[in-house]
Amino acid sequence: MIVGLGEAMVLFQPADGEPLDECRSASVHVAGAELNLLAAARRAGARAAFCSRVGADPFGRRVCAAAAALGVDTGLVAVDESRPTGVFFKDARPDGARRVHYYRAGSAASALDEADADRALAAGPALVAVSGLTAALGPGPRRAVARLARAAHERGIPVALDPNLRPGLPPVTDLLVELLPMTTYLLLGTDEAGPLLGVDEPAKVFDRARAAGVGEVVLKAGADGCWHADPGGPRRLPSAAVEVVDPVGAGDAFAGAYLAARLAGIAPRGAAWLGTRFAAGVVAAPGDTDGLPAPREAAALVAEADSIET
């Protein structure tokens, strides 16, 4: 079972691609980096559980219902009677850009702490997934991420780290660097390699990460695909995307599919191939998880990934 620690929020986005200041109606979704990852992992065949906090409000109930509908176990989600569930709004601008407005200050998940990390570990995970985004939510979440990664490593539980660096949030690069020796799977974007490792050329990124103690690296390059581990050095896979409606959530879908595949014994090349297919589906649909392949299609993709030779 993969256990992810983080925040999920209710997302509102205007219907028909209108900007927020002009729209008359909006669609409602549930999203969050770790929940997105877990949803993809579950669709790829792994058991997945979400460790978080939500408010005792309709939005908190909606988060739990959406996670459960995606097959993600919500038994590790605590309800905070004194803090609200976070919400955010996605704005489609006339230039085609997507801008996101967060209302998460003082949210239930911003109060995550070491007790939540201990609850995640008590579930007996086969792998834990942590994120720099969660660590940046405040002092408590930062401590929770550090405790979960360190304690999991001490117990021999693989740790997956997605830096998820966000310019608008407090810097956490120092913590992520400290966690690299405990990281089994590092899934980072090309734009995060420089701040985290000091280099951005793929071969140097892989070398620098391994020198820091990372077990396995995947470099996500957006429209340019990804770079995965190969005996002869980093190997590039092109993106599988055909249509891009909304790029948000693609990296999480890639990461979840990749980790599920690796847990199932699929080689890095096949796992990366699977990740590109999941990401391609997500970018072709609005919302962060709406484009995940249907269960039967996902099973066929996993079987195909397993047949890919290294």
SS3 227: strand
How big, in percent rounded to 5, are the helix, strand and coil portions of the chain? Answer: 45, 20, 35
CB 147 within 8 A of CB 114: yes
What is the Cα–Cα distance from 283 to 188, expressed in whole angstroms? 18
What is the Cα–Cα distance from 199 to 208, expressed in whole angstroms? 8
Residue type, position 277, single letter: R
Residue type, position 45, single letter: G
- DSSP state, 3? E
Concatenating the DSSP letter of every residue in 156-223 gives: T--EEEE----TTS---HHHHHHHGGG-SEEEEEHHHHHHHHS--SHHHHHHHHHHTT-SEEEEE-GG
| Strands 127-131 vs 2-5: parallel, antiparallel or unpaired | parallel
Within 8 A by CB and 6+ apart from 213, the residues are 180, 181, 182, 183
Q: Which residues are catalytic?
A: 252
Rounded to 10 deg, the angle between the 295-307 and 268-283 helix axes is 150
Edge-first strand order for the sheet with 98-103 is 26-31, 9-14, 87-92, 98-103
